[in-house]
Homo-oligomer: A and B are copies of this chain.
Amino acid sequence: MKERPILVHEVGPRDGLQVEELVVPTEQKLEWVQSLAASGVDLIQVGSFVHPRKVPQMADTDELFRRLARPGVLPSSVRLTALVLNEKGVDRGFACGVSDFCMGVSASDTHSRKNTGMSTKEALSRILAMARRVVGAGKRVQVSVQSAFGCGYEGPIPEARVMDLAQAFLDAGFTTVSLADTAGHADPAQVERLFGRLLEAAPGIEVACHLHDTYGLGLANAYAAIRAGVTVLESAFGGLGGCPFTAVAGGNVCTEDLVHMLHRMGLRSDIQLGPIVATTRRAEAFFGRKLPGTIYKTGPIPAPGEEAS
């Protein structure tokens, strides 16, 4: 079996921004996405197709996809992804040329009902239908189990429930599966164990993790995920983010901190920290507050002889 390289999926423009009340103008978002793409990250989640009244920050997702698709705007190597919540979102994604769709089901029934108005079971059958439609149209899909490591409402989530949802995805033929720590409840031993179970059940599939740093465990969990064989790491520049539909949720794992860790581990030295840090600095100036990330404040570990920052 060929070893998969580690991919970085920058979800800041979606999961980083959706919780922010101050709406980022489209031109600004375009600049940020271009700057993030220039770093060499592999995927960028541009936005989600959600009702603009529910999340005004995401109202320009269709326009962003159209403008980012114009020739020369982005390097061809970067893949743009969108989060879709329902059939209407799939329609909108098709209409503006999205090729990579992300969608998920919460393993917490309470979170599922608050987020979608449906139970986990109802949401699963809806998501499976949506995913089939996406794949049927020749597009890529990543299906995820949200709140896979614990829930702000329900607390611990039984691992069997997470595995059952993942198995339903696998049984339906979907081979890119993400487990999301929506609330930031995961601990590294749990991360290593649960991803280990998933990869044991389905060796060779592409497994992604989506981690939040609510309780300071984001990078520890990222390391545990890598150890378990996870190859797609979702993160947000500056450590922005948090899901507005969970009880407590801190920011996403910070992209530049994650990339810095990967560099130190000898991984993905082709991804440039500079453009990510520059984007975080612009976001810091835009929002007018310090963001959670570390490396944009400290700089990376200096090479020998470099001035300490």
Residues of A participating in the B interface, judged by any CB pair closer than 8 Å = 150, 152-156, 184-185, 187-190, 214-217, 219-220, 222-224, 227, 247-248, 250, 254, 257, 260-261, 264-266, 294-295, 298, 300-305, 308-309
Contact = CB atoms under 8 A, between A and B. Distances in A.
Q: Which of A185, A223, A266 has the most CB of B within 10 A?
A: A223
Copies held by the complex: 2
Contacts of A250: 298
Nearest to A265: B189
Nearest to A151: B304
Interface majority SS (helix, strand, loop, mixed), chain A: loop
Given A215-B301, A248-B298, 4 more contacts: A188-B261, A215-B295, A217-B219, A219-B219
Report, nearest first, the 8 A-B pairs whose CB atoms are least far apart: A155-B304, A187-B264, A216-B294, A247-B308, A220-B220, A248-B308, A188-B223, A189-B265
A189 B266 contact: yes
A114 to B, nearest CB: 13
Contacts of A304: 153-156
Q: Which of A156, A216, A247, A254 has the most CB of B within 10 A?
A: A216
A248 B216 contact: no
B257 A216 contact: yes
Contacts of A301: 150, 184-185, 214-215
B261 A217 contact: yes
Contact of A223 (B185, B223, B302): B223
B300 A215 contact: yes
B187 A265 contact: yes
A235 to B, nearest CB: 12
A250 B185 CA distance: 25
Nearest to A256: B216
Contact of A215 (B153, B155, B214, B298): B298
Contacts of A257: 215-216
Contacts of A185: 264, 301
B303 A188 contact: no
Nearest to A153: B304
Contacts of A308: 152, 247-248
B248 A309 contact: yes
A231 to B, nearest CB: 15
A220 B190 contact: no
A222 B220 contact: yes
Contacts of A217: 219, 261, 264
Contact of A305 (B155, B184, B216, B254): B155
A153 to B, nearest CB: 8
A100 to B, nearest CB: 28
